[in-house]
């Protein structure tokens, strides 16, 4: 790597350290002592708060009263970060309690007028697609914090007209199709469930159930989500159907390409039949075959009901 790349990586390498020796830099970057000395001087000039401690056991220290060490980005990295940041505009709620517009201004304050003009011109002709999210999630940050702390929490959850409390250890939070979803282990039932975050009405600490390592929950999520009596399905679709799958699908299903045929395999638990049937209705004429037969018949019944409804209005 060239010097600028090495200095950038070096600051990341040292950022969480309280002290270091020249030998640390020499060994990691395969550089001479004189080069390591010049690099330390360059990092000081760039604003990294380094001080030297003389003596037999001398070392370089790094002051801790800083926010972050300065990091150098090239223009392509600046563009990537800038437009990634702007995608947050689509969300009514984020777990970070930030204003995208204020963040944007802070970002631009670090750039020259020429670079800012380049970004604004690019913003007029380049955009990253996202589905606007309008439902406010009052407890999204609390859900994220409980997942980071690997703790079980009690959530007050509204499903249709019913409101219930559930002891949940969350281990995944994702945004999809204009909604925030949180996946968690139900400490009482031993199953994995997915919750819409805007339907969470309250979050409280739980001291009854012990927590599990998040890594273990992630590994066993698919097995935990599949309950006894679940039904396996196999739906063969065209290439266009495979495109539909890539735009919208769920953890309980996977797409397989075998002998030039696209097959969606997965399962649905008891009570999810209508949901999965409605999902595959969206595939229309891209479907080539459906198994099991009860799922196919349920889709036909739904289409017949829709046709009757539309004929009557």
Per-residue model confidence as pLDDT tens digits over 201-227 = 999 999 999 999 888 888 776 666 788
**Band of the pLDDT at 14, cuts 50, 70, 90?**
confident
Determine if residue 218 is left, alpha or beta; phi over 0 gives left, psi from -120 to 50 gives alpha, anything else beta. alpha
DSSP string, 205-270: E--SSPP--HHHHHHTHHHHHS-TT-EEEEEEE-HHHHHHHHHS--TTEEEEEETTEEEEEEEE-T
Which domain, by its residues, includes 156? Answer: 140-225
Burial class (CB in 10 A: 0-12, 13-18, 19+), 129: exposed
Model confidence at 133, pLDDT cuts 50, 70, 90, reads: confident
Q: Does residue 13 surpass a pLDDT of 90?
A: no
> Is the domain of 146 the same as that of 219?
yes
Q: Per the structure block, which two tokens stand in for 52?
A: 């030297």
Task: Return the number of other C-beta atoms located less than 10 Å from residue 197's C-beta.
Answer: 25
Same domain? 167 vs 98: no
Ranking 11-25, 240-254, 282-296 by mean pLDDT, the lowest is 11-25
Q: What is the mean pLDDT of residues 54-69?
A: 69
Task: Please tell me the predicted confidence (pLDDT) of residue 18.
Answer: 84
Closest to 235 (Cα-Cα) out of 227, 225, 245: 245
Q: Among residues of the chain, what percentage have pLDDT more than 90?
A: 46
Percent of the chain with pLDDT over 70: 94
Place of tokens 């890594």: 215
What is the rounded average pLDDT of the residues 252-272? 92
What mean pLDDT do residues 274-302 have? 96
pLDDT of 52? 85
Domain with residue 275: its CATH number is 3.30.70
Chain Cα centroid distance, residue 161: 29
Q: What is the pTM of this model?
A: 0.61
Mean pLDDT value of segment 88-115: 77
Is there a single domain that holds both residue 23 and residue 38? Answer: yes
Cα–Cα distance for residue pair 14/21, rounded to 1 Å: 11
* 60-69, 102-111, 165-174: least confident range: 60-69
- What is the structure's pLDDT at 82? 84
Q: What length does the chain have? A: 313
Q: What pLDDT score does 294 carry?
A: 96
Same domain, residue pair 188 and 147: yes
Residue 289 contacts residue 261 (beta carbons within 8 Å): no
Place of tokens 């990253």: 128
- Closest by CA to 166, choosing from 141, 202, 219, is 202
Q: Do 188 and 235 belong together in one domain?
A: no
Q: Which of left, alpha, beta for 202 (phi over 0: left; psi -120 to 50: alpha)?
A: beta
- Top mean pLDDT of 104-118, 131-145, 185-199, 211-225 is at 185-199
Q: Is 132 part of a structural domain of the chain?
A: no
**pLDDT tens track for 110-126:** 777 888 888 888 888 88
235 lies in the same domain as 220? no
Q: How far apart are CA 166 and CA 154, in angstroms?
A: 5
Q: How many domains are there within the chain? A: 4
Residue with tokens 């909604």: 179
Residue 68 within a domain: no
Which pLDDT does position 130 carry in this prediction? 72
Any domain includes 69:
no
* 217 and 262 both lie in a single domain: no
């Amino acid at each position: 790597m060239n010097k600028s790349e090495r200095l950038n990586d070096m600051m990341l390498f040292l950022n969480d350290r309280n002290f270091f020796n020249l030998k640390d830099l020499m060994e990691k970057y395969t550089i001479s002592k004189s080069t390591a000395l010049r690099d330390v001087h360059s990092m000081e000039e760039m604003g990294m708060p380094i001080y030297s401690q003389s003596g037999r056991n001398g070392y370089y220290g790094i002051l801790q009263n800083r926010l972050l060490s300065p990091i150098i980005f090239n223009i392509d990295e600046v563009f990537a970060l800038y437009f990634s940041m702007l995608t947050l505009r689509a969300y009514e709620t984020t777990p970070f309690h930030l204003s995208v517009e204020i963040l944007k201004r802070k970002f631009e304050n670090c750039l020259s007028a020429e670079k800012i003009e380049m970004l604004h011109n690019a913003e007029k002709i380049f955009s990253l697609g996202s589905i606007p999210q309008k439902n406010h999630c009052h407890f999204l940050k609390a859900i994220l914090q409980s997942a980071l702390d690997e703790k079980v929490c009690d959530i007050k959850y509204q499903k249709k007209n019913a409101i219930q409390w559930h002891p949940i250890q969350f281990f995944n939070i994702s945004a999809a199709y204009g909604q925030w979803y949180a996946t968690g282990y139900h400490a009482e039932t031993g199953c994995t469930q997915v919750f819409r975050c805007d339907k969470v009405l309250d979050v409280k600490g739980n001291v009854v159930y012990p927590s599990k390592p998040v890594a273990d929950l992630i590994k066993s999520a698919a097995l935990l989500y599949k309950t006894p009596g679940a039904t396996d399905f196999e739906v063969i679709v065209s290439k266009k159907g495979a495109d539909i799958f890539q735009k919208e699908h769920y953890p309980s299903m996977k797409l397989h390409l075998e002998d030039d045929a696209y097959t969606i395999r997965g399962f649905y638990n008891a009570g999810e039949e209508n949901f999965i049937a409605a999902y595959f209705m969206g595939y229309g004429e891209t479907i080539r075959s459906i198994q099991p037969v009860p799922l196919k018949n349920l889709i036909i019944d739904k289409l017949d009901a829709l046709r009757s409804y539309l004929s009557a209005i």
